[in-house]
Amino acid sequence: MSRKQQYFLVVILILASVSFGGWLANSAGVANPDIYLSIKKNFELFQKIYQEITFQYVDEVDPYAFIKAGIEGMTQKLDPYTGYIEKEENENLAVLTKGKYGGVGMSISKRGDYPTVVEPPFENTPAGRAGIREGDKIVEVAGKETKDESLSKIAERLRGKKGTAVKIKIKRADEKKRLDFRLIRDIIVVQDIQYADFIKDNIGYVRLTRFSKNSAKQFRKAITDLKKKGMKGLILDLRSNPGGLLDAAVEISDLILPRGELIVYTKGRTANSNRKYYSSKDPPL
């Protein structure tokens, strides 16, 4: 990153923060007119320290890593749930909000040193059509070894625009040699319901892996199908579910709770952050 780019980045952060500060002051009803001046002075101090360390510190400093550390330091002072979203994480967020992505259609998790396909690939997807199986270890993606690499980095290379190709190498338990695959990416609709069936005596079981745009629709279909087959009770498995969209969680709760029950409430600094969500329908169960 050039000095001009560093300066530009700092200026953008100042302008964005001043704008945010103005919005915060207006929306929160902050009467102190010195809020803009305070933000400006604080960022001038931040910029000065940033430049001095970048140019004068005894060891060379990575400007991007340094400013990222500063951002992380600021967010860590707030609460455990506030953070800086980078590009690859933003793509994961887009999967939740859009319910689809460009990719190959398989779920992976770390098993030992390599990412492993943890369940059969989604039906009618590039991975499924190519014959990739549950338990396959992905040892190479786009010409790069995956050993000891983070899942987010691997997922980033597997995803891409529809119609583009990605080459992967697989290590399969019953094969001596690595298997080569060339997959053409497609639009993958996220499947949040990983399992829906009966376990015992008309007791239904649904495993929900996340709360995304598609979750409520998929959950309604799952319980409707089970009810047609005689379901009398339901176990909803949320183990390992990392969360997701609040609206999706509310919609799913609305399919379970009696009408008029308080589902959740939110509280914040601004008036429009204070909301209560009630169940509004008669549950289909």
- The model's pLDDT over 58-104, given as tens digits with 9 standing for 90+, comes to 999 898 888 888 888 889 899 887 887 766 566 667 777 888 899 99
What pLDDT, on the 0 to 100 scale, is given for residue 84?
78
Q: What is the overall mean pLDDT for the chain?
A: 85
CA neighbours within 13 Å on the CB side: how many for 79? 2
* Residue 283 pLDDT level (bands cut at 50, 70, 90): confident
H-only helix segments in 110-232: 126-130, 151-158, 215-228
| Domain extents in the chain | 3-84, 99-189, 193-278
What pLDDT, on the 0 to 100 scale, is given for residue 65?
85
Between the ranges 109-118, 120-129, 220-229, where is the mean pLDDT highest? 220-229
| pLDDT above 50 for 285 | yes
What pLDDT, on the 0 to 100 scale, is given for residue 126?
97
Instruction: Express as a percent the part of the chain with pLDDT over 70.
Output: 86
CB 54 within 8 A of CB 6: yes
Give the closest residue to 130 by CA, choosing from 93, 152, 158, 99. 158
What pLDDT, on the 0 to 100 scale, is given for residue 16?
43
**What is the CATH T-level fold of the domain 99-189, as seen in this structure?**
Pdz3 Domain (2.30.42)
| pLDDT above 80 for 133 | yes
Q: How confident is the model over 136-164, as a mean pLDDT?
A: 93
| pLDDT above 60 for 125 | yes
What pLDDT, on the 0 to 100 scale, is given for residue 19?
43
Least confident of 42-46, 120-124, 172-176: 120-124
| pLDDT above 50 for 7 | no
Take residue 212 and report the two structure tokens written for it.
């995304």
Class of domain 193-278: alpha beta
